[in-house]
Amino acid sequence: MSVELIPVINVKTSKKFLERWQKLKNFSGIFQLDIADGTFTSWKTWNDPAGIKKYKIPKGSFEVHLMSKVPHILIPKWLEVAPKRIFVHLETIKNFNDLLILCQSNKIELGLALKAETPLEQLNPYLKDIASVLFLGVDPGPSGQKFQWFVLDKIQKFRRQQPAVNIELDGGVNEEVFKEAVKIGVNRLAVGSAIFETKNPEQKIQELQKLLSLK
């Protein structure tokens, strides 16, 4: 299973979104857009699918991580701009089958995200229907938080149980975490502040991609 670097844009304004997206112009992979509406966490981000159209962000070039207690309200709006996949939080699921059918009918992948402390067992009812799980290494909210190392133990256990599922790690992923996560079977690494809070984000992306080539 190949390992993928996914830059994360977690911002409050359209200006900041555009600034960070422009840093990815030479990046060939997808990026993640964090969407928080204040219902699942007190953090709120820029949340404007119309802006994706305005800035002509290519279809399928990004994934959406919804931090919301009302994903059924947000998903239809984001489907209009055709992300590659949408993650909803396991802790908020009330009508999973409806969300799954909605995404599948639009040929968009639906994945599940879970907070650091959420038991793995809560994923079991949904594993037959999903191909991707996003593990948070921090509390839902802003970029730049300290990584919670116990999450790697959970991931290692999950990888042994589910060798074919795509595992994405998001939150607090610095270079040290990056290396350890790859060792235990994480195949998607979502990196935000460790890229965008550096003096040269483009160079940092190249450095992280080089680490993947050496794994």
Is residue 145 pLDDT above 80, yes or no? no
* CA–CA distances in Å: residue 62 to residues 6, 32, 92: 9, 5, 22
Structure token pair of residue 126: 């949904």
Give 146-191 pLDDT, tens digit per residue: 899 999 999 999 999 999 999 999 999 999 999 999 999 999 999 9
The reported pLDDT for the residue numbered 35 is 97
Mean pLDDT rounded to a whole number for the chain: 94
pTM for this entry: 0.95
Contact 170, 195 (CB under 8 A): no
CA distance 211 to 5: 10
The reported pLDDT for the residue numbered 26 is 87
Give me the number of domains the chain comprises: 1
Give 96-136 pLDDT, tens digit per residue: 999 999 999 999 999 999 999 999 999 999 999 999 999 99
The reported pLDDT for the residue numbered 25 is 86
Can you give the CATH number for the domain in which 91 is found?
3.20.20.70
Give 10-38 pLDDT, tens digit per residue: 999 999 999 999 999 889 899 999 999 99
Torsion angle of the four alpha carbons 103, 117, 138, 134, in this order, in degrees rounded to the nearest 10: -30
CA distance 178 to 35: 23
CA distance 127 to 167: 12
Q: Give the structural domain span for 72.
A: 4-213
Of the two residues 133 and 143, the one the predictor is more confident about is 133
